[in-house]
């Protein structure tokens, strides 16, 4: 369990009872048929101690959806639950109408779900090209086609293709991690805090790349601590608090909602 998933209260967060009543303001129309739907998910790392307490999320075809909230809200746990890395005890997760709840990660990859974890997301002793090959181990015959697609998004990886991933900068390693996840041509890409640990300049590049991947036709769920930047680029956003949905709206509306700013975003949410 990472620090971000440890259940603890934010100084500005409400009590559990308050969170149940937080769906304040106008909510945007969620897609009637989401490509991926997490419905009332209860999940956690220890039996009987849930981190998620009934989370619901809908990802429409071609959408970029952001998940923000205080530390310990369950943001990373939600994407790990979708990817089969955390046990789901209640609720369902569906992909294009098919129940994929708690399927193993390798099965989800074959069904079109890609995942980029926050840490340890490259094979440091392998070259960039070998990392890409690992991303396509299920369909190696498509390597050249998919690698060309990745290089179109991340041209610098072509210059580094024979360099070991462990010797790359943090921003370049993040490119490798995203590129490897894209090798299997996912329908849905899960990004767990992709800007974590990067300089402000490199963080901004990560968000630009995520937007480019989305514009290339990949639906994305992005967990982020950099709430302001995430909400600036996402179509819709979800604010989680203590394992529950607190607010959901378009990214722009959440970014400018005084109550969301006061309770969750602070100065990060203020836009000039």
How confident is the model at residue 201, as a pLDDT? 86
DSSP one-letter string for 14-72: --HHHHTT---SPPPPPPSS-SEEEEEEEEESBTTB-SEEEEEEEE-TT-EEEEE-STT
Q: Which of residues 120 and 41 earns the better pLDDT score?
A: 41
How confident is the model at residue 197, as a pLDDT? 87
Six token digits for residue 61? 């075809």
Q: Is pLDDT above 60 for 63?
A: yes
The mean per-residue pLDDT over the stretch 9-29 comes to 39
Spell 222-260 as b/e; 16+ CB within 10 A means b: bbbbbbbbbbebbbbbbbbbbbbbbbbbbbebbbebeeb
pLDDT single digits (tens) 230-268 = 999 999 999 999 999 999 999 999 999 999 998 887 644
How confident is the model at residue 12, as a pLDDT? 37
Q: Which of residues 26 and 222 earns the better pLDDT score?
A: 222
How confident is the model at residue 137, as a pLDDT? 80
How high does pLDDT run on average in the chain? 87
The mean per-residue pLDDT over the stretch 84-90 comes to 96
CA distances 160 to 122, 128, 168, 176, 179, Å, are 14, 6, 9, 10, 13
Is residue 221 within 8 Å of residue 57, measured between CB atoms?
Answer: yes
């Amino acid at each position: 369990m990472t620090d971000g998933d440890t259940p603890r209260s934010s100084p500005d967060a409400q009590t559990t009872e308050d969170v149940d009543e937080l769906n304040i303001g106008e909510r945007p129309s969620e897609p009637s048929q989401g490509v991926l739907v997490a419905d009332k998910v209860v999940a956690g790392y220890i039996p009987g101690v849930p981190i998620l307490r009934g989370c619901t999320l809908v990802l429409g075809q071609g959408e970029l959806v952001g998940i923000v909230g205080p530390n310990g809200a369950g943001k990373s746990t939600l994407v790990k639950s979708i990817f089969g890395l955390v046990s789901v005890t209640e609720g369902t997760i569906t992909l294009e109408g098919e129940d994929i709840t708690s399927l193993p990660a390798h099965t989800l990859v074959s069904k079109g779900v890609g995942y980029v974890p926050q840490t340890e997301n490259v094979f440091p002793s392998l070259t960039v090209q070998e990392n890409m090959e690992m991303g396509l181990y299920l369909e190696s015959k498509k390597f050249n086609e998919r690698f060309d697609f990745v290089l179109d998004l991340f041209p610098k990886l072509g210059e580094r293709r024979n360099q070991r991933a462990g010797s790359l900068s943090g921003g370049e390693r993040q490119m490798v991690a995203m590129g490897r996840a894209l090798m299997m041509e996912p329908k849905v890409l899960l990004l767990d805090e992709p800007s974590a640990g990067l300089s402000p300049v490199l963080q901004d590049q990560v968000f630009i790349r995520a937007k480019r991947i989305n514009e290339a036709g990949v639906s994305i769920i992005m967990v982020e601590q950099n709430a302001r930047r995430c909400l600036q680029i996402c179509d819709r956003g979800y604010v989680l608090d203590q394992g529950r949905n607190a607010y959901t709206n378009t990214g722009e509306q959440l970014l400018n909602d005084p109550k969301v700013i006061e309770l969750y975003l602070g100065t990060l949410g203020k836009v000039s």
